[in-house]
């Protein structure tokens, strides 16, 4: 006797209703996962949705630090991540002990942590930020205060350049996907696609050189340094018909779906996050069906981390 194949999409939608669950998916998730999500966005948008939801269960289709953030913001809700191995190469570049030691070297500094960090690191931070509000967060800090910015060195360099801040110290971390997107790849592509809008994420290793070329006028008005949600908004509102995109390729699905009359070309076809891609539709079903895997941040850590996250949300 043969087993009938499970229609995972149908079952996920059924279980979601039965359990009063909400599914949050990052822009880099697989298309099949995005298709069952209630909200799709960048980490800031998803944090806001997690904080505002009246659902009993949050299934977070992203990486582990994002589920932790949802748990911190929603301590009375059950937060699930469909795969415990969905980590983050950037978040793993600094731990709480390393941050504590760094703070001892600069005792009067204000600590700004990118959301791509563990709950323990957030608990030692004064502010969190995302790529879409990092400049605003740093600008909100008095100019005479030192800033420790972590863990992304490319985003940190970008923020330091935009804010013109001379007392900013930057942790040398990087995202394995964005670090692989190089200026030469972009210049080669833009040379042949002269009418395309160029969208680049500030975590890319090419950001500093991109800013230089933009300042010199080499890219005219075509270069835009944006968060993933900023890219989505620009794609919708721009009059351009062709876009060159420098970030993880998962975003292309949503871009093409929302803008069927426009063309989106990745700078690197293989710019994929192996951690984001660990979550599949079958794992989302398994998560809802069997209550796995719950992410719960201990109260003493969550209370401290929540302060830094709340400050971020207030500024954004």
The binding site for iminosuccinate consists of 26, 43, 114-116, 131, 201-203, 228
What does the angle CA 230 – CA 236 – CA 241 come to, to the nearest 5 degrees?
115
Residue 103, number of CB atoms within 10 A of its CB: 15
Q: How far apart are CA 162 and CA 16, in angstroms?
A: 43
Q: How far apart are CA 62 and CA 83, in angstroms?
A: 9
Q: Provide the edge-to-edge strand list for the sheet that holds 110-114.
A: 127-129, 110-114, 147-150, 168-170
Question: Among the residues of 167-250, which ranges form H helices?
Answer: 183-192, 207-216, 228-237
Residue environment code for 210-234, b if the CB has 16+ CB neighbours within 10 A, otherwise e? bbebbeeeebeebbbbbbbbbbbeb
- Annotated binding-site residues for [4Fe-4S] cluster read 88, 175, 273
- Annotated binding-site residues read 26, 43, 88, 114-116, 131, 175, 201-203, 228, 273
Residue among 7, 10, 9, 40 at smallest CA distance from 23: 40
CA distances, 129 to each of 26, 104, 136, 293 (Å): 16, 22, 9, 26
Residue among 61, 68, 75 at smallest CA distance from 28: 61
Q: How far apart are CA 163 and CA 173, in angstroms?
A: 20
Q: How far apart are CA 122 and CA 297, in angstroms?
A: 12
């Amino acid at each position: 006797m043969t087993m009938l194949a499970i229609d995972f999409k149908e079952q996920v939608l059924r279980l979601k209703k039965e359990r009063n669950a909400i599914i949050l998916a990052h822009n880099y998730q697989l298309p099949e996962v995005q298709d069952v999500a209630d909200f799709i966005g960048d980490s800031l948008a998803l944090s806001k949705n997690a904080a505002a939801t009246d659902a009993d269960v949050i299934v977070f289709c992203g990486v582990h630090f994002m589920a932790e953030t949802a748990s911190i913001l929603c301590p009375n809700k059950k937060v699930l991540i469909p795969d415990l191995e969905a980590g983050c190469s950037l978040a793993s570049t600094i731990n709480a002990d390393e941050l504590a030691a760094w703070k001892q070297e600069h005792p009067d500094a204000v600590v700004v942590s990118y959301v791509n960090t563990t709950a323990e690191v957030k608990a030692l931070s004064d502010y969190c930020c995302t790529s879409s509000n990092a400049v605003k967060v740093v600008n909100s800090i008095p100019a005479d205060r030192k800033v420790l910015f972590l863990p992304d060195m490319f985003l940190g360099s970008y923020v330091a350049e935009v804010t013109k801040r001379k007392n900013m110290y930057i942790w040398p971390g990087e995202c394995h996907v964005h670090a692989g997107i190089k200026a030469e790849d972009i210049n080669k592509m833009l040379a042949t696609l002269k009418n395309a809008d160029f969208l680049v994420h500030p975590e890319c290793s090419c950001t500093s050189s991109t800013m230089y070329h933009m300042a010199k006028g080499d890219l005219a008005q075509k270069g835009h340094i944006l968060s993933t949600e900023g890219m989505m908004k620009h794609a919708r509102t721009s009059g351009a018909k062709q876009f060159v995109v420098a970030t993880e390729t998962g975003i292309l699905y949503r871009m093409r779906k929302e803008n069927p009359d426009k063309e989106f070309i990745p700078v690197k076809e293989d710019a994929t996050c192996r951690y984001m891609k660990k979550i599949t539709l079958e794992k989302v079903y398994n998560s809802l069906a069997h209550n796995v895997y719950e992410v719960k941040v201990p109260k003493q850590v969550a209370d401290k981390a929540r302060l830094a996250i709340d400050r971020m949300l207030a500024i954004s």
